[in-house]
Amino acid sequence: MSALQRIRQLVIDRRYDLSAYAEEEMWIMICEFCGGQTIRKKVRKIHWLRQQLYIVDDVEAEVCQECGERYYHATTLDAIDRMLAAGSLRVKKHLRVPVVGMRASSPA
Is residue 66 near Zn ion by the rule CB under 5 A?
yes
Specify the residue, 23 or 69, whose C-beta has the smaller distance to Zn ion: 69
Nearest to 71 by CA among 30, 16, 18, 103: 30
Contact window for Zn ion (CB under 5 A) among 7-15, 24-32, 76-84, 90-98: 24-32
The residue from 10, 34, 49, 85 that contacts Zn ion (CB under 5 A) is: 34
DSSP 74-107: HHHHHHHHHHHHHT-S--------------TTS-
The residue from 30, 31, 61, 80 that contacts Zn ion (CB under 5 A) is: 31
Please answer whether residues 72 and 45 qualify as being in contact, where contact means their C-beta atoms are separated by less than 8 angstroms.
yes
Residue numbers of the site for Zn ion (CB under 5 A)? 31, 33-34, 36, 64, 66-67, 69
